[in-house]
Amino acid sequence: MSVKAAKHAREMLLKEYRGVLSTQSKKWPGFPFGSVVPYCLDALGRPLILISRIAQHTHNLQADAKCSLLIGERNADDVQAAGRLTLLAEAQQLVDVAEIDAAATRYYRYFPASRDYHKAHDFDFWVLQPVQWRYIGGFGDIHWLGADSVTLDNPFAGEVEAGMVAHMNSDHAEAIAHYLALAGLAAGDAPELAGIDTEGFHLRVGATLHWLPFPAPCGNPGEVRQALVLLARAQAWPGTEVIQA
């Protein structure tokens, strides 16, 4: 297993936020059924999706949980030369109330509009439990990766992350705009921090999400604070190549 390939695969999983979910067709047995779904990652680093009970892909998953999620590099000029990641997974609907509440809190920050249709309509949270990954970074850069090789636990998920995000959004709007400028991204109207993980953080500008890496991995909230302060004062992204969406 290539550690470098696994890291690049995880970075792609983080920087993208939608993919093609392929399920086993219930209506037409033997045929795959593809649909576009947005996602964010749960506390264990697995893709978390919110899907309608009446949707065809939901009916398919209820009959057969085996599925795949294809994630491609956004805005690529040559899709065959661009990076892409395929996850083979077993889909699991969340049924525990505490797990659902935790999923909703994080998912709403990434996709605020989902709060309304989740509560007003019959939508449920599902996680995609990895079975195998297929990462293609470009011509000749092809790897099969084990189920646990790409996902990374997020120690901040929950109240710690929510507190850091709320603080940044309420007290440090200028810093958030500066992060976007450092990354060469347009700020737009009222950009906000959406999530934090050990390797970076997500900024939401309208309906668009951007993942930006920390200069070095952060293992605790103090290190996150130091990294965010460093970036707020920086004139260029320090210590790493910025992975842009």
Asked, for residue 118, whether it belongs to a domain, the answer is yes
Same domain, residue pair 26 and 130: yes
Same domain, residue pair 136 and 227: no
Q: Which CATH number do you get for residue 116?
A: 2.30.110.10
What domain range is 226 assigned to? 159-233
Asked, for residue 52, whether it belongs to a domain, the answer is yes
Same domain, residue pair 11 and 99: yes
Q: Please give, one letter per residue, the 3-state secondary structure of the chain.
A: CCHHHHHHHHHHHHHCCEEEEEEECCCCCCCEEEEEEECEECCCCCEEEEEECCCHHHHHHHHCCEEEEEEECCCCCCCCCCCEEEEEEEEEECCCHHHHHHHHHHHHHHCCCHHHHHHHCCEEEEEEEEEEEEEEEECCEEEEEECCCCCCCCCCCCHHHHHHHHHHHHHCHHHHHHHHHHCCCCCCCCCEEEEECCCEEEEEECCEEEEEECCCCCCCHHHHHHHHHHHHHCCCCCCCCCCCC
Asked, for residue 242, whether it belongs to a domain, the answer is no
Residues of the chain under the 70 pLDDT cut: 1, 77-78, 81, 118-120, 239-245
pLDDT of residue 178: 94
pTM for this structure?
0.91
